[in-house]
Amino acid sequence: MTNKINIPYQRLAKRLFVLLLVLGATFSSLSSYAQEVDKGINYSARLDTNLIVIGDQINLLLSVEQPKGVKIEFPAFKDSIGSGVEIIQQNPQDTIQMESGNIKVNKNFLITSFNDGVHKMNPFEFKIHEENLMNIIRTDTLLLGVKTFEIDTSKANFDIIMPIHTPIAFAEIAPWVFGGLLLVAIIVLLFLYLRKRKKNQPLFTKVKPKEPAHVIALRKLDEIKHQKLWETGKVKEFHSELTDTIRFYLDERFKLSTIESTTDEIITAVKSVDQESEWHVKLKEILERADLAKFAKFSPLQDENEMSLKYAYKIIETTIVEVIPEEEKAQEETTADDAKKKE
């Protein structure tokens, strides 16, 4: 008889405790705000909520709004905050630029508790480092209420939660995916091989080496020379194609970027990579004459147009770099090695 009477009283006591816990956490503040008036510093500590079920996870956010140049040290924690509150994860400090010119620094903690009751988190201390002086500012105390599950002892034992059917992870299917791709690649290569073999063609063709910049530029100059655009009244087009060819060659030859550059910028750039001044004068004359033709509606004489084309050839011939094919280069190196061995 005594046990039957005690059980309802025990349940009533637990419910009263939970009710008081809820009321206490509800009326307590979720956050603590403060201000250091002399230094223009606002600081706070804020919880998502004051009341959680045991094992729940919430955020604790520490914030400081401060002028630039002020060094403020945040409180440091390892794995817990006081007694009963555990830290699951600490995020790095995040700095935000404010419209007022100040900066706002945030640091977030993901916390939980496995002990029911009301947990007191002592004031959080921020250290202000000044010249030969350290000042400490503190927030108010925060309270965290933790309630546990009510266990009905009159019912039989059962699983708290049913087994979870987790989705298939990529690591589980990765071997099949990569295996399938490899098989497809082998089939494609085999198909190409049989097709090429039937046509008596090699499976892999040798890539044609890139032509040297001077070869491309000289070929383009030959095309411009044969077109003779200035004789048909297309003076502006002639100078545009001529300067574009020169810019391309300079960029490839000296590793520059002159496509959008002005005449003065191009001259300055080439002087920084080649001290030879004779062809610089010819280049400047070509570019200045082209600027007049393109932008000032100036019509150079036929001799001047031909002179620009002649100077373009001269610039390329003066700065040309002989490119030795890889096969010849390897042969020369082999010959040199043999000569050294004979010596």
The domains located in the chain, with CATH, are: 31-147 (2.60.40.10), 213-319 (no CATH)
Ranges 157-171, 285-299, 310-324: which has the least confidence:
157-171
Sign of CA pseudo-dihedral 52, 56, 61, 62: positive
pLDDT given at position 3: 43
120 φ, ψ (degrees, to nearest 5): -100, 125
* Site of tokens 């090699």: 202
State how far the Cα of 254 lies from the Cα of 274, in Å rounded to an integer: 9
* Model confidence at 341: pLDDT above 80: no
The residue among 315 and 83 whose pLDDT is bigger is 315
User: What's the longest Cα–Cα distance across the chain?
Assistant: 126
pTM of this prediction?
0.40
* Best mean pLDDT range from 4-13, 152-161, 239-248: 239-248
Q: Which two tokens stand for residue 284?
A: 């400047």
In this structure, are residues 239 and 245 in contact, taking their beta carbons and an 8 Å threshold? no
pLDDT-wise least confident of 119-133, 158-172, 253-267: 158-172
Angle between helices 278-295 and 235-254 (to 10 degrees): 140
| Other CB atoms within 10 Å distance of the CB of residue 239 | 26
In this prediction, residue 192 carries a pLDDT of 81
The string of DSSP codes covering 247-288 is HHHHHHHHT---TT--HHHHHHHHHHH----HHHHHHHHHHH
Distances (CA, A) of 230 to 268, 294, 302, 320, 339: 29, 13, 7, 27, 56
pLDDT of residue 327 exceeding 60, the answer is: no
> Which has more confidence, 222 or 24?
222
Rounded Cα distance between 257 and 265, Å, is: 10
pLDDT at res. 222: 93
Averaged over 291-304, what is the pLDDT? Answer: 86
> What are the residues facing 80 on neighbouring strands?
86
pLDDT recorded at residue 293: 87
* Confidence check: pLDDT of 104 > 90: yes
pLDDT per position as a tens digit, 150-183? 666 666 666 666 677 777 777 888 888 888 899 9
Tell me if 51 sits within 8 A of 147, measured CB to CB.
Answer: yes
Judge whether 75 and 64 are in contact, CB under 8 Å: no
What average pLDDT score do residues 200-221 get? 78
CB atoms closer than 10 angstroms to residue 32: 19
Helix (H) or strand (E) holding 124: none
Q: What is the rounded CA–CA span in Å between residue 221 and residue 241?
A: 9
Average pLDDT, the chain: 81
Instruction: Return the structure tokens found at 274.
Output: 């080649």
Are the C-beta atoms of residues 136 and 127 closer than 8 Å to each other? yes
Greater confidence, 35 or 47?
A: 47
Token pair recorded at residue 173: 């299917």
